[in-house]
Amino acid sequence: MPEQDTPILDLIEGMTAMSLEVTSLDARDVMLVRIAALVASDAPPISYALNLGAAGELDVDAEEIRGVFAAIAPIVGTSRTAAAVGNVVKVLALSELAAEVPEETAAA
């Protein structure tokens, strides 16, 4: 399979790596802060998908993510918080659907 040209994803990966090098936060705290920033910036579902996946790899659980949402709701407002919850639900639903697709179908 030929290597894909992904300049935007490569840029994001490079920015992420650089931010991890210069922050004084540990990786789990970085993920919680990033989730808060996603809510504050009204990020699209794909941003949640990428970051929730990375957070899961660091054992950030649903309760901690709910805690982030509760902590920032008074600052970002109910509409941004509700939209963020909706985006997370979309990501989870799409992940569940993708898991149900047989590998042969997904590769086609």
Total structural domains in the chain?
1
**Contact call for residues 40 and 74 (beta carbons, < 8 A):** no
Within-domain flag for 12: no
Within-domain flag for 7: no
Distance from chain centroid for Cα 102: 25
Within-domain flag for 33: yes
> What are the tokens at 46?
């794909």
Within-domain flag for 38: yes
Within-domain flag for 36: yes
Q: What is the pLDDT of residue 1?
A: 44
* Residue 48 burial (C-beta neighbours within 10 Å; 0-12, 13-18, 19+): buried
Where in the sequence is the domain holding 70, given as residue range(s)? 24-100
Within-domain flag for 72: yes
Residues in the chain where the model's pLDDT stays below 50: 1
Within-domain flag for 108: no
Q: What is the pLDDT of residue 99?
A: 84
Q: Collapse the DSSP code of 101 into the 3-class scheme (helix H, G, I; strand E, B; otherwise coil) and give the result.
A: coil
Torsion angle of C-alpha atoms 37, 51, 106, 90, degrees rounded to 10: -40
Q: What is the pLDDT of residue 95?
A: 85
Within-domain flag for 39: yes
